[in-house]
Amino acid sequence: MLLFNKILPLLFLPFGVVCGLVLLALWRKKWWPGLLALGVLGVCSMPLVSGRLMGWLETRYPEIPLASLQREDAVVVLGGILGPRVPGSDQTNWLDSVERFEAGVALVQAGKAGRLVFTGARLPWENRVITEGEELRKEAIARGVPAGKILVTREVDNTASEARAVAEMMKENGWKRVILVTTGWHMPRAALLFRRAGVDCVNFPVDFRRNHKDSLNVKDFVPTAEAWQQTETAIREGYGYLFYRLFR
């Protein structure tokens, strides 16, 4: 499963395509694969392209006001929030997806749920002593969330196993519905997997990346590293969504 979810898609992302074209140009001693590689690199690095791809994912589950939510049994915050532990440092290494954590804490403190659930995320190659969920539990307690309100699922390694773990926890606690918190571009796949696991949830996306402006300008056509990264993220997420729609 790790091969299909993490490694194989790399070959079909823009980076893999560019590398393949460069190798083809060197092997065949032809100029056109190299020129095509530059074209792929330039197009995929344009904010116009990355914004359209991110928009395709994020508009499926638009942002909703916190005040509009009804009280549910629990708030579930998906993993992927912390970076690797920094040796000798006692500071939390937050990733760009920290808004997932912030939203989960805000929802519970606003009385939108009685429990805050973090997933026990830990990938095989990480050197974590405890799961990400346990680390986030400590952070939430430091933010004023009562320890008795915070739960951590069993150990998980991807979104599909997070969904199954939450389904088990709901059954154990007799919960009917939860609020699901994750990044906007990740919500389509997460919602699909949680629905298939039998979890009734209200989707609360956060951390939107696309630019909401209506008009274009010259900067939208100027390649940037940030746009390249967002294009790769959007395409990878699209592959993941299609994989679970077609094969799972």
DSSP state at residue 119:
E
Distance CA 39, CA 44 (A): 8
Query: What is the Cα–Cα distance from 122 to 230, expressed in whole angstroms?
Result: 24
The pLDDT of residue 92: 87
pLDDT at 122: 79
Return all residues near 214 (Cβ < 8 A) that are at least 6 apart: none
Phi, psi of 110 (to 5 degrees): -85, 0
| Sequence-separated (6 or more) residues with CB below 8 Å from residue 196 | 163, 244, 248
Q: What is the pLDDT along the chain (248 residues), one digit of tens a residue?
A: 544 555 667 778 999 999 999 999 999 999 999 999 999 999 999 999 999 999 999 999 999 999 999 999 999 999 999 988 777 777 888 999 999 999 999 999 999 999 999 999 876 666 667 899 999 999 999 999 999 999 999 999 899 999 999 999 999 999 999 999 999 999 999 999 999 999 999 999 999 988 776 778 899 999 999 999 999 999 999 988 988 888 76
Domain 66-206 matching CATH 3.40.50.620: the answer reads: yes
Kindly report the pTM of this predicted structure.
Answer: 0.90
For tokens 């993941």, what's the residue?
A: 240
- Signed CA dihedral, 224, 40, 9, 212: sign only: positive
The pLDDT, as a whole number, for residue 180 is: 98
SS3 at position 144 = coil
Strand partners, 88: none
Return the sign of the alpha-carbon dihedral for residues 59, 61, 63, 65.
Answer: positive
Residue 90 tokens read as: 């006692």
Of 77, 103, 82, which is closest to residue 93 (Cα–Cα)? Answer: 82
Neighbouring-strand partners of residue 94: 82
Residues 45 and 140: their CA atoms lie apart, in Å, by: 37
Query: Looking at residue 5, what is its pLDDT?
Result: 58
pLDDT confidence of residue 126: 66
* pLDDT (0 to 100) of residue 248: 67
Rg (CA), the chain: 20
Q: Which amino acid is at 119?
A: T
Q: Enumerate the CATH 3.40.50.620 domain ranges in the chain, comma separated.
A: 66-206
- In the numeric block, the tokens 């979810």 are attached to 5
pLDDT for position 4:
54
- Looking at residue 127, its pLDDT comes to 67
